[in-house]
Structure 1
């Protein structure tokens, strides 16, 4: 079972981002996803910087996948995507169908990211015909839904692509053309001042009663809880999961990677280090961490 470092969801300063990924070159992860998936205004690293960083990580022995935006709204954003595909030199994570189409046209293998919304075996097979080589189910697709899709593929005589499951991190729940961070801070989206950079793990959002609820991250909404599927490793193996995705955090990521590296090499499931995922068990996503 492989470990992947998912794409950076937050907006960090340039030097922090570069230092994080250069440190990750020595971590026991097999796959690193690079690029901006949330907001095209986040330009601490240019397209050339991401491509150059990808080359550095490839030299360190990592498989690098360049990730696309989940919500493409402008021709300029499409131009960046075309450049990633043309110059990236490897696989693309398609988080929007325009990325899947461009990869198909250019014969570039791609990963179906969690925002691509693949819910049945027919859609999965169509994307495989277009060049899909790895599938990351959406956060709400738990073990039962994944098993049903896998079984439907087998019944149709189709082989599954590589299966990558989000095992650790805050879950990406939704995207909008509006900027939640700008709205929360009462500034216009087009004059936001890149305020996301002030919140390296997202802006906490509480209920009216003061209970932690969600994380605001630009145009993206994340779950508040950091989920951990480590204890579910026996189920993940039984499902045929090939890759465990770990989403980056501002602090403690090296220790998290080391924890998962030990876990994948053990026959025993590890202790839980973060919240239980209700979605994985077919329950409400905010099910209490100590439930069942």
Structure 2
């Protein structure tokens, strides 16, 4: 059994450039093995641009991290497609494809890539097809379970001998859905095209509650996320036996402490309000000890 690697996923929230730079400086000093950089949620978020991410990539690489550039999960304009092509054409770093347009671009360029969690892959046949196109790593969709992962790996192994790394979303607010509408702008009665980047006001997302006061969802621009933090720290042994990489998705600076918990295998305790349902093939907002 190989040692489970720890990846810091792409920042899903809109942070000011200075704060994001501080964040990656701290990540560089951590024990994380892999760092994903780039905007994956909304093409209007341009507080940090590709050149900024490439500068941070150099800094992280010098600190011994493997760097991956992540692409948008929902392309909505020709300009965004051109930016995607620009990202794909740089060959210094591996690319995480979160949309089939990115897969097509990278395949046409003959470049290896990561299949991100926003792309629907639910069986070994689909994953084998992507492997033939150049995929070398698959980030499992967040709603799938460990049992599903084990079965899919077995199916994949029976179809091809192409190598594949398996990555599991293991900590953070779960990205559940994307929409052409911007829910954060709608909350402020703003049109999406005149949103004023209002999601800056919510660097950890905009919480929504049920009528009885329970956390239900987190709104993050066009992205709908879980209301509670998903946390597989107490499932680390099962992770280590079925996956290669644990992905941690941060929503504030304090989240960085979880890198050590996953990297070192310490006996970290999951807070009572955290969830792990999907991993255990039960309702996602539930928690199984």
Range into which the TM-score falls when normalised by the shorter chain: over 0.9
**Match of residue 47 from structure 1:** 50
Q: CA deviation at 1:88?
A: 5.3
67, 76, 82: which is aligned to 1:73? 76
Aligned twin of 2:275: 276
- The aligned counterpart of 2:61 is 58
Q: Distance in 2 between matches of 1:21 and 1:270?
A: 23
Report the count of equivalent residues. Answer: 285
Mapped partners of 1:250, 1:214: distance in 2: 17
Out of 132, 135, 139, the residue aligned to residue 138 of structure 2 is 135
* Alpha-carbon contact 2:23-2:253 (below 8 Å) kept: no
The TM-score, its normalising length taken from structure 1, stands at 0.94
| Distance in 2 (alpha carbons) for counterparts of 1:259 and 1:236 | 13
Runs of at least 5 residues in structure 1 that lack an aligned partner in the other structure? none
Q: Which residue of 2 aligns with 1:163?
A: 166
Contact 1:110 1:134 in 2 (8 A): yes
Confirm or deny: 8 A CA contact 1:66 1:88 kept in the other structure. no
Whether 2:170 is the aligned partner of 1:172: answer no
Of 223, 232, 237, the match for 2:235:
232
State whether residues 171 and 232 of structure 2, in contact with CA within 8 Å, keep that contact through their aligned partners in structure 1: yes
User: Contact 2:217 / 2:226 at 8 angstroms: preserved in 1?
Assistant: yes
1:205-216 correspondence to structure 2 within 5 Å: 205-216=208-219
TM-score, structure 2 length as denominator? Answer: 0.94
Q: Deviations over 1:24-78 (max 9, x none)?
A: 1111001000000000110111121112221221122111100000001111111
| 3-state SS in 2 of match to 1:168 | strand
SS of the aligned residue for 1:39 comes to coil
- 2:184 and 2:106 map into 1 onto residues whose CA distance is 32
Structure 2 distance, partners of 1:88, 1:38, is 22
Residue aligning to 1:250: 252
Describe the superposition over 1:217-259 as per-residue Cα deviations: whole angstroms up to 9, x where unpaired: 00000001111111112211222x1111000121312312122
